[in-house]
Amino acid sequence: MTDLFSPARFGAIDLANRVVMSSLTRNRAGAGNVPTPLIAEYYRQRASAGLILTEATPICAEGHGYPRTPGIHTAEQVAGWKAVTDAVHGAGGKIAVQLWHVGRISHPDLQPGGILPVAPSAIRPVGQVFTGQAMKDYVTPRALDLSEIPALIKTYAEAARNALDAGFDGVEIHAGNGYLLDQFLRSSTNQRTDGYGGSAEKRARLLLEVMDAVCKAIGPDRVGLRLSPVTPFNDISDDNPQDTFEYVVGQLNPFRLAFLDILQGTGGAPRETWLPFDYDRLRERYVGNLIRNNGYDFLTAQEAVTSGAADAIAFGRLMLANPDLVERFRRGAALNAPDYDRFYSGEEKGYTDYPVLQD
């Protein structure tokens, strides 16, 4: 019987088990948004997961929206990530980088030369962003010109090639959580009237062209995708998410991706407050490896895998606080509680200082 501890093969990536580390922004990068030895140690500690998905990693300078997030668009960043992948591989793990462009969820203070952030449409998100010195209101972004889109797609492909140069086993395209590709997908943020806006088919066009370019750059068996159909994070929504995301998932099958990662629900909110969505319909439509993500404990994760509802389960806060989560699950051991105050600051505190089981 297949269960959470069974090995798996996701495209070209062999997983020792079906416990996946979810992508978690931690804001610990060094100068120039370069991964540091501390980041390498953080991921090395969690190498017993079947697959690590790194923190969201900007594909270009314009893709940044938070301070101290490691990028993958300079030679120094690629070298920094190479030390991370070497550490994970040395501990027997597998690791894929999550490729990110924040779109409108940024601020001129975080953009090269103080330029405006870009988006599908010039719609200002509600809320504020931390610029590194202070919280500031979001600004009205600049709508991407049609002529700029080919270069953006090329940048995703270049970032994927950089990822393989850095030693990653694969990449995950971030198309969720209200960031750029999600902004194109959703009706609330995409009000374009050209070939990239309007119907669900047109709103999905950019994502599918990015997937095609990345798959051609590094091979589809090393490419995954993150979607978050009803997550309202970053002031985003869709008029008909069920139809939108069923269409998207149906279009993914010809790519034969390594995996599809579905973030269920609405962030850390209790399940009973999640917006309605039939995730089983996505499972029925998608023919490849499916990761379900958000709100799982050991028992619900085990049931999802043994029933075939998912091929693996991603854990965020539990993996953050328990570097040896797989072993704790095996033993039925107690779990460490996350240090919420140090999610985004504190250097080693709340990062690499969580205790592990002692034999």
Alpha-carbon dihedral angle through residues 89, 354, 67, 263, given to the nearest 10 degrees? 70
pTM over 0.85: yes
* Catalytic choice (42, 66, 138, 179): 179
359 belongs to a structural domain:
no
348 belongs to a structural domain:
no
Q: With CA atoms as reference, report the closest residue to 24 among 43, 49, 40, 3.
A: 43
Phi, psi of 349 (to 5 degrees): -75, 130
110 belongs to a structural domain:
yes
Which pLDDT belongs to residue 1? Answer: 84
Q: With CA atoms as reference, report the closest residue to 283 among 307, 254, 314, 255.
A: 307
* Distance in angstroms (rounded) separating the CA atoms of residues 132 and 66: 8
266 belongs to a structural domain:
yes
166 belongs to a structural domain:
yes
Which pLDDT belongs to residue 133? Answer: 85
User: 57 is in which domain, residue-wise?
Assistant: 8-342
Return the DSSP state at 7. Answer: -
333 belongs to a structural domain:
yes
Cβ atoms of residues 81 and 72 within 8 Å: yes
User: Which CATH number fits the domain that encloses residue 307?
Assistant: 3.20.20.70
Q: Provide block-wise average pLDDT over 10 residues at a time, the chain (359 residues).
A: 96 98 97 98 98 98 97 98 98 98 97 97 96 93 98 98 98 98 98 97 98 98 97 94 97 98 82 83 96 96 98 97 98 96 94 91
How many domains does the chain divide into?
1
357 belongs to a structural domain:
no
Q: Is 279 a catalytic residue?
A: no
Which pLDDT belongs to residue 67? Answer: 95
Which pLDDT belongs to residue 124? Answer: 98
Beta-strand pair 95-100/51-58: parallel
321 belongs to a structural domain:
yes
Which pLDDT belongs to residue 274? Answer: 75
